[in-house]
């Protein structure tokens, strides 16, 4: 039986050429796998037909947009995950769901190898291969660009020689990856980190310099999950899409950052994540009134480590599962409404309410009705500062000798 290789297929030039390139280099049959994670653009059927036209013996296509929102975006939201405090893991969280379908397709079609289109200097090669090794430890991995010397020039020449049904003449100066959680742009003139991004690189967001009138929105959560926008019930996917539209119109969610790649390279990235950043902002503000102080402080540390693990391709790792369990426990009381104003590139919270809030008006107020016993403060301060006071006395005593 001829060996079969499953290929993560985007429908673009490189992965279209990779179908025939892999076949010629290995003698194997190629099954193209396309996964919709809300990236928009061409239909799955169009992509499927292109894969077959480029020589794939089978084409597996999956609409995973709801799955992606529910099982990958929502956990990211619950963790308030921002890699290095900036990046909402746009590409990093899409790779595990694609890996899941790659392994499923490999089982379904009897493939022994999984291929992806990543280079040898990026993060995605790690995310794909570590995920594949974890879910399908018997499967092998290859990367045509990295392992089979498939350069872009060779890809264009191969496509023209074979008459493949793919556009080969226009070269976008940027590398772009997008899904419903956001959009990532890199390379080209952006690699000079002094260059400011130009307006043409943005698609999910309008320029914030000349915004429309302020847009006030109320986001409702149940146990950390967005369930309504302005009182209208929504699924997580619908919530992300609606806030992509409304926050994007106000220029919210533009991120320009130099980040530390897993392979040791610093890389300049431009992100657009209007829905993600609006939701993370709202979710964090709701946590501020519903999560106990020490638990909240520790959760911030857990969220940072969670983001690092996911960025580094460890979605399926034991530590990630353990952190998931902690984060999920913290969300028990994260239920309520957040009101925010979207305007001029900012999402500013101006109202909070929750039946499970820890905010006690009678304890917090300075007006009549204050129930806080201020006489407790003096003794508390004495005890709180006791260890520092004793240490300071020791320092003075020793210094005087």
Give me the catalytic one of 66, 146, 175, 215.
175
Residue 322 annotated among the catalytic residues of the structure: no
Residue 175 annotated among the catalytic residues of the structure: yes
CA distances from 89 to 84, 189, 281 (A): 10, 23, 15
At residue 80, the pLDDT reads: 98
- List of domains in the chain: 4-171 (3.40.50.620), 176-291+333-353 (3.90.1260.10), 361-399 (1.20.5.470)
Paired sense of beta strands 266-272 and 182-186, if any: antiparallel
At residue 168, the pLDDT reads: 56
Query: Which token pair is 22?
Result: 């892999």
At residue 14, the pLDDT reads: 83
Residue 220 annotated among the catalytic residues of the structure: no
At residue 116, the pLDDT reads: 93
User: What's the 3-state SS for 98-114?
Assistant: HHHHHHHHHHHHCCCEE
Residue 124 annotated among the catalytic residues of the structure: yes
At residue 146, the pLDDT reads: 86
Query: Which token pair is 70?
Result: 């529910």
> Residues at the annotated binding site for ATP?
8-16, 117
Question: How does pLDDT run across 233-280, given as a tens digit for each residue?
Answer: 999 999 999 999 999 999 999 999 999 999 899 999 999 999 999 999
> Residues at the annotated binding site for L-aspartate?
119, 123-124
At residue 121, the pLDDT reads: 84
Give me the catalytic one of 4, 91, 94, 124.
124
Rounded-to-integer distance, Cα 255 and Cα 273, Å: 8
Query: Which token pair is 152?
Result: 């872009």
Nearby residues of 14 by Cβ (< 8 Å), 6 or more positions away: 117, 144, 145, 150, 152, 155
At residue 162, the pLDDT reads: 80
At residue 172, the pLDDT reads: 61
Decide if 182 contacts 278 (C-beta within 8 A): no
Give me the catalytic one of 95, 183, 268, 352.
95
> Residues at the annotated binding site for L-citrulline?
87, 123, 127, 175, 259, 271
At residue 142, the pLDDT reads: 93
Q: Which residues of the chain have pLDDT under 50?
A: none
């Amino acid at each position: 039986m001829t060996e079969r290789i499953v290929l993560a297929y985007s429908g673009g030039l490189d992965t279209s050429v990779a179908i025939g390139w892999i076949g010629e280099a290995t003698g194997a049959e190629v099954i193209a796998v396309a996964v919709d994670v809300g990236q928009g653009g061409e239909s799955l059927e169009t992509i499927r037909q292109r894969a077959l036209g480029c020589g794939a013996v089978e084409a597996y296509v999956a609409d995973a947009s709801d799955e992606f929102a529910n099982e990958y975006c929502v956990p990211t939201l619950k963790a308030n995950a921002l890699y290095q405090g900036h990046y909402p893991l746009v590409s990093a969280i899409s790779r595990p769901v694609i890996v899941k379908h790659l392994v499923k397709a490999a089982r379904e079609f009897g493939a022994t190898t999984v291929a992806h289109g990543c280079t040898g200097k990026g993060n995605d090669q790690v995310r794909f291969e570590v995920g594949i090794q974890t879910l399908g430890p018997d499967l092998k991995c290859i990367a045509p660009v990295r392992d089979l010397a498939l350069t872009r020039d060779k890809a264009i020449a191969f496509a023209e020689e074979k008459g493949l049904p793919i556009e080969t003449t226009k070269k976008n100066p940027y590398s772009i990856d997008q899904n419903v959680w956001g959009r990532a742009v890199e390379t080209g003139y952006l690699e000079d980190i002094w260059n400011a991004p130009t307006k043409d690189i943005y698609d999910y967001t309008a320029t914030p310099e000349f915004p429309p009138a302020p847009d006030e929105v109320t986001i409702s959560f149940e146990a950390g999950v967005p369930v309504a926008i302005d009182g209208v019930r929504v699924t997580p996917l619908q919530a992300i899409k609606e806030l992509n539209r409304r926050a994007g119109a106000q220029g919210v969610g533009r991120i320009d950052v130099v980040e530390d790649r897993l392979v040791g390279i610093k890389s300049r990235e431009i992100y657009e994540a209007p829905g993600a950043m609006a939701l993370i902002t709202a979710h964090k503000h709701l946590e501020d009134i519903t999560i106990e102080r020490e638990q909240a402080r520790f959760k911030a540390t857990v969220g940072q480590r969670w983001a690092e693990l996911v960025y580094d391709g460890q979605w399926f790792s034991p530590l990630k599962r353990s952190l998931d369990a902690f984060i999920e426990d913290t969300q028990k009381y994260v239920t309520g409404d957040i009101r925010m104003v979207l305007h001029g590139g900012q999402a500013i919270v101006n109202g909070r309410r929750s039946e499970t809030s820890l905010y006690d008006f009678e304890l917090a107020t300075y007006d009549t009705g204050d129930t806080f016993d201020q006489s407790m403060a003096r003794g508390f301060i004495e005890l709180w500062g006791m260890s520092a006071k004793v240490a300071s006395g020791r320092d003075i005593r020793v210094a005087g000798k």
